[in-house]
Amino acid sequence: MVNSQPKDGQKDMHLLKSFRVNTASLIFIVVIFAISVSTVSAAEMASISIKTGLDQVVLAHDGNMLRVSLDPPSLKFKNAVVKSNAKLSETHGNLAAGETLEARFTPAALDDSSKVEMLLMLKWYPKEGVLRKWVRMRLIGTDSPKLLEEIVLEDINIGNKQVALQSDGIQSYPAYMDGFFVGIEFPIASTRITDKHLILAHQPGIKLQPGVWYESRKAVYGVAARGMEKQAFERYISMHRPTPYKLHVNYNSWWTSPAPYYTEADILDLMQKFGRDLYRPYKVSFDTFCIDMGWSNPKSIWEIDEKLFPDGFSNIERGASNIGSHLGLWVSPSSQYPTALDNNWAESKGFETFMTPWDWRYTCLAGTKYRETFRSRLLDLIERYKIRHLKFDGYQFICYSPDHGHEPGILSAEACAEGIIEIFESIHESAPDAWIESTCFGFNPSPWWACYSNSVIGTFGDDAPTGRVPCPIYRESYTTARDYFNLQGAEWLSVPIAAQEVLGIIHQSSEPFTNDAVITIMRGHMFLPLYINPKFMDKSRWKTLAGIIKWARKNEAMLAETEPILPVSWQNGKCPKITRDAPMPREPYGYAHWTKNKGVVALRNPWIAPTSCMVKLKTLPQNKPLYAVSIYPEVRLYGSNLKGGSVLKVPLAPYETLVLEISSSKPPKGLPKASNYMGYGVKAISSKSKTARIVFKSNEVGIDGSKEFGADWTSEVGASESAVEMEGIAEVVVPKTGGELLLLREGNDPRLTPLHKVIIDGKEIKTRSVSCSADGWAAGVTSPEQWIFLRYPLAQGKHSIQFKMIGRGDNDRLSAWVWNKRAASPAYSNYPNAMPQPEMVYVSASCLADTGRTALKTIEAPKPVKKINGVYLDALEPKSARMDYGTLQKNKNITGAPIVIGRNRYARGIGSHSNAIITYEINGKYKRLQAWVGTDAGSRGSVTFEVRIDGRKAWESGLMRGGDNAKRVDLDITGAKTIELVVGDGGDGINSDWADWADAMLLR
C-alpha cells in the first residue's frame, strides 16, 4: 500500500491508497524504451476508433470491436453484501483527446447500512495501444472496516466467441480475442472464464478503513491485428521490461562448486581458472559471476557465513573484477532451502514464517519484519560488493498465517507479490544496471513478472532434464529434452521470449557441448547463464566457448527477436501445453531470427534418421535474390537466387544442429554446396531383416512362482511372457573416418542389457560401449523415454554384419543402425559471422531393422534363461540378518529400487545397509562364492564390505562410495560351513549406506 496525493479536483481524496499498481513507473519505462522497442505504428493508430457511449467505451479496429463497460465494478466483501448497486451519475473527460475519463456513481449500499463511493477511471495510451481502467473507492456510513475479497473490473459476455485464456490459476494471465488482448496488469489476479463470461478481477484481501480512498489494480485492453494478439501483448510487455534488457552473460557456480557449502578458496580457485583459460587468452568475460546456494549463515537473515568467507565478499569481488566481471548472488526469497536459512531459527527470532499443508516452513514476504530485513540486507550487499545480478530461487505465492498483518490463504497472494515486487524495485533503484533473474514463479509464470524482473524462468522442464529421443551421444538427447519444454513455453507463454530463461549452457560431463551451446543461444533468451565445470574443458573447448560468447554478443540485437519453428506434428495448434507427458516428435524444429537485412535460422534434427525441413523465407526490403549459407557447423551453400516468400527445403544429417544465414549478400565463388556433404558416409549396400513378437514357452518353476528368478536360473527377458525380436543381415561400406553399428532398445529399465548377438565379418563381437539414458548426466526427474544403445565400432571398408536382439516385453521397440561422424572441415571457417565449429559433425545413418515400422508376426519359442551350477544367494534364507537400518531385500536395493552399482544394473542380488552381518549356513555344499559388491548408485553413502568364511576374514573391499564401480568377489569356499557378509559404515555413520551384493551366487 502506498499513499498518493489528491489529483484533479479530488481534494476530498486526502487518504487515497493503492494496491501497488505503480503505473507512473510503467509509463516512464515506455518513454525510455521508445527507441528500442517497436510501438504502435501511425497507420495502426489511424485505424483505431475510441468512442464513449452512455454506459460503455467502444474500441474498434480492423473490423473488430470491444465494448468496455462503464458500469460500476462488482465488489465482494466478507460478511457484507451489496444490497443496491451504484448508479452512474456523471462522466467527464475525452479519451480520444488523451484525457482521463472519470465516471462517478451514486454510492453502493451494503446490507448493514454502510456505503461505498466509487470513481471509475479510464485512460488511453496511444504509444502502447492500450486502454487502462481502474476504480477508486472508499467506505462511508460506518466506523467498522470491511474485508474486500474481490473486485470484478470487467464482465464480458463472450457467448460463442473464441477466447484464449492462458490459464486461470492464482497468477495473472492475458486473454486473447479477435483483435484484442485483455487482463489485469499485475502478476496476481483472478481472471477466469465462467459460463461464457470472461471475468477480469483480482482479490486484494484488504480491509477497507472507513473514509479512506483505495485504488484497484488496473485492467488493460490492448489493440492488435487479427491473429497477432499474442505478439501485440508481448510487445506491450516488452515496453515495460526493466533495464538492462540486452544480452547478459552470467556464470553460475552450481554443480561445479562444492555443495551444500563452499568456501572463499573454492570460489577464488574457480575464478582463477576462468581467468587463466578464458579471460586472459581470449579477452572474454562474464557480465556477472554468480555464487549459488552455499554462502549464507543459516542462523541469520541472509548474512554472509564468516566461517566460509572471513572477509565477507571483498576478496571474491576483487576476483570477479580481475576477470572483467561483477559478482552475482543467489537468494531464496521465501527461504525454501534450510541449509541456506533455517526457518525454525527465523521463527524463534520473531521473523514471520508459516507452515504449509505439506508440512514445510517458509518465510513470509508480506511480513514486515522479514521483508524489510531481507530487502535491507540485499541492498547492503549490492552497495558493498557491487553485486550486479540477483538470482531469486524459491517463492511461495500465498501465506497461511493469520498473524502477519494480511489475510491468510488465497487472499494473501497480492500482499506476498507486493513484498517481492518492492524488493525488485529497490534493487533497480539502487543498481539500475543489475540483472534480476527469477527462477521461482513456476513453469507458467505471469507475464507481468517481466515488468519487474529482467528475466523469468520459463518452461524449462527441470534443472537439467533427462534426455528425450534416443541418441548414442547423450548430450544431444539432453538438448532435445530442453527444447521439448522450451518450445512449449515459446508457443504458449505470454512472457516475451527474450525475457524467458531455461537455464542456459550446462556442461557437467565429458561429452562435447558445442551443439548444445549453439542451440541454447539461438533460443533467443537475453539472459544466458553458464553452468560450466572447468574439469570438462580443454584448450580447444575454451576457445570454442570464447567464440560462442563473442558471436552471441555481436548478434544480440538479432537474437532478441525469435520465431520458433515447431516440429510438424506440433504445428497448427497441436503443440502440447506445458506438460512433460506428451512424446517428443522425432522431427526437425528450430528458431528463426529475422532483421531488415537478413535472417539467421537454426534448425535441429533430434533423431538419427536423416531428414529435411521446410523453411519459409521472408521478403527483405532490398527485394534482391537471397542466398542461404550455413555458418554452423560448417560453411556450406544451401541455396542461391532464392525469392522472398518462397520455401527452402533444407536437408539435415542425423542429430544435426545447423545455422543458416539468409541474405542478399552473394557468397564467394567456390563455396561448397551442401549437397556435396549429404549422404557421403556409411552406406548399407544390402540388408534384410525380420521382426516378430515371441510368446515364450517354459517349464521352469521360479522362486515363489516367479517368472523371472529361479534358484539356479535367471530369465534373460525378465518376467515377460512375450517380447519383440529383431534380427537381420547387412553388407555395409564404411568411409575412412570409421563408423558404428548401433543396436537400440527403447523400453523400461534401460540399464538391463537386452539379449543380443552380433557377428561382424564372421566373428562374434562383444559390445565395446553402451549409451544408456539412465546414465546420462541430468539433474531432473526420469523421462518417459528410456533407451539403451549397444555400440560396435566399424573400421573403414566393406563389412558383413549379422545381428539379433530380443527385448524385455511387448512394448519395447528395437532397431539397428549404422552411422558415422567426422571432424568438422576448417574450410571457409573465417567466413563472415561464422560460428565456432563443433568437435564432430554427424554425417549419415541407415536403418537396418526396426520393430516399430511393421506389424509383428507372433511366434512361439523357448524362454531364454541363464543357468548356473549352484544357487543364487537370494534363493536362500539366511540363518540371521542383523542390520542397523531396514530389512534385507532380495533382488532390490535396501529401498526396494533396482540394484545399480556404478553404471551397471543387476537383476539379482541382496540389498543391505550398514552396519550389517548376514549369515548363511551352507554345510560344505558349495565350492565358490561369487558376487559384485558396491555402494548403490542411488546413495551418497560410504561403506566397507567383508566376507568371513567359518568366522575367518577371507576378503575385504576397502572404502566404497556411491557411484564407484563394483568390486568382484570370487572366493574358494570348499568345505565351508558358514559364510558371513559384513557391511561397515566407513567410519562416518550409517546415513545413506545402501550396500549391494549383486549377482551373488554359490557354485558347486
- The pLDDT of 56-73, averaged and rounded, is 95
Radius of gyration of the chain from its Cα atoms, rounded to whole angstroms: 33
Predicted pLDDT of residue 654: 97
- The pLDDT of 993-1004, averaged and rounded, is 98
Domains for the chain: give ranges and CATH numbers: 2-238 (2.70.98), 248-562 (3.20.20.70), 564-675 (2.60.40.1180), 683-865 (no CATH), 868-1003 (2.60.120.1060)
In the numeric block, the cell 554446396 is attached to 673
Q: Is the pLDDT of residue 46 over 80?
A: no
Cell of 260: 551444500
Predicted pLDDT of residue 31: 29
Q: Is the pLDDT of residue 662 over 90?
A: yes
Q: What is the pLDDT of residues 718-769, one digit of tens each?
A: 888 999 999 999 999 999 999 999 999 999 888 888 999 999 999 999 998 8
Count CA within 13 A, CB hemisphere, residue 585: 19
Backbone angles phi, psi at 226, to 5 degrees: -55, 130
CA–CA dist 92, 52 (Å, integer): 10
Q: Is the pLDDT of residue 29 over 50?
A: no
CA–CA dist 628, 989 (Å, integer): 63
Q: Are 936 and 903 in contact (CB under 8 A)?
A: no
Give the confidence band of 677 by pLDDT, cuts at 50, 70, 90: confident
Q: Coil, strand, or helix at residue 262?
A: coil
- The pLDDT of 189-203, averaged and rounded, is 97
CA–CA dist 668, 656 (Å, integer): 25
Predicted pLDDT of residue 77: 96
Q: Is the pLDDT of residue 981 over 90?
A: yes
Backbone angles phi, psi at 483, to 5 degrees: -70, -30
Q: Is the pLDDT of residue 247 over 80?
A: yes
Q: Coil, strand, or helix at residue 635?
A: coil
- The pLDDT of 645-658, averaged and rounded, is 97
Cell of 402: 493469520
Range list of H helices, 386-439: 413-430
Q: Is the pLDDT of residue 37 over 70?
A: no
Q: Please provide the DSSP assignment of 270-307 as one string.
A: HHHHHIIIIIHHH----SEEEE-SS-B-TTSSS-B-TT
DSSP summary character for residue 709: B
Q: Coil, strand, or helix at residue 430?
A: helix
Predicted pLDDT of residue 680: 81
Q: Is the pLDDT of residue 560 over 90?
A: yes
Give me the helix-helix angle, 539-554 and 514-522, nearest 10°. Answer: 10
CA–CA dist 210, 199 (Å, integer): 28
Which of 187-201, 256-270, 575-589, 666-680 has the least mean pLDDT?
666-680
CA–CA dist 315, 311 (Å, integer): 7
Q: 901: closest CA among 863, 856, 867, 932? A: 932
CA dihedral 620, 621, 627, 630 (to 10 degrees): -50
Give the confidence band of 44 by pLDDT, cuts at 50, 70, 90: low
Q: Is the pLDDT of residue 34 over 80?
A: no
- The pLDDT of 252-264, averaged and rounded, is 94
Predicted pLDDT of residue 32: 29
- The pLDDT of 689-701, averaged and rounded, is 91
Q: Rounded to whole angstroms, what are the CA distances from 715 to 19, 719, 774?
A: 67, 7, 22
Q: 702: closest CA among 720, 721, 715? A: 715
Predicted pLDDT of residue 747: 92
Q: What is the pLDDT of residues 280-334, one digit of tens each?
A: 999 999 999 999 999 999 999 999 999 999 999 999 999 999 999 999 999 999 9
- The pLDDT of 617-644, averaged and rounded, is 94
Predicted pLDDT of residue 43: 57
In the numeric block, the cell 520473531 is attached to 350
Q: Is the pLDDT of residue 105 over 60?
A: yes
DSSP summary character for residue 464: B
Q: 22: closest CA among 246, 183, 169, 187? A: 187
Q: Is the pLDDT of residue 45 over 70?
A: no
Predicted pLDDT of residue 6: 29
Predicted pLDDT of residue 322: 98
Give the confidence band of 42 by pLDDT, cuts at 50, 70, 90: low
Q: Are 248 and 521 in contact (CB under 8 A)?
A: no
Kindly report the number of other CB atoms within 10 A of residue 223's CB atom.
29
Determine if residue 545 is left, alpha or beta; phi over 0 gives left, psi from -120 to 50 gives alpha, anything else beta.
alpha
Give the confidence band of 456 by pLDDT, cuts at 50, 70, 90: very high
Determine if residue 578 is left, alpha or beta; phi over 0 gives left, psi from -120 to 50 gives alpha, anything else beta.
left
Q: Please provide the DSSP assignment of 61-113 as one string.
A: ETTEEEEEE-SPPEEEETTB-EEE---EEEEE--GGGTPPEEEEEPPEEETTS
Cell of 96: 480520444
Contacts of residue 945, Cβ cutoff 8 Å, sequence gap at least 6: 933, 956, 957, 960, 967, 969, 981, 982, 983, 984, 995, 997
Q: What is the pLDDT of residues 121-163, one digit of tens each?
A: 999 999 999 999 999 999 999 999 999 999 999 999 999 999 9
Question: Helices then strands (H, E): number in the chain?
Answer: 13, 66
Contacts of residue 920, Cβ cutoff 8 Å, sequence gap at least 6: 873, 876, 878, 879, 978, 979, 980, 981
The average confidence (pLDDT) of the chain is 93
Q: Is the pLDDT of residue 407 over 80?
A: yes
Backbone angles phi, psi at 207, to 5 degrees: -90, 115
Q: Is the pLDDT of residue 936 over 80?
A: yes
Predicted pLDDT of residue 65: 95
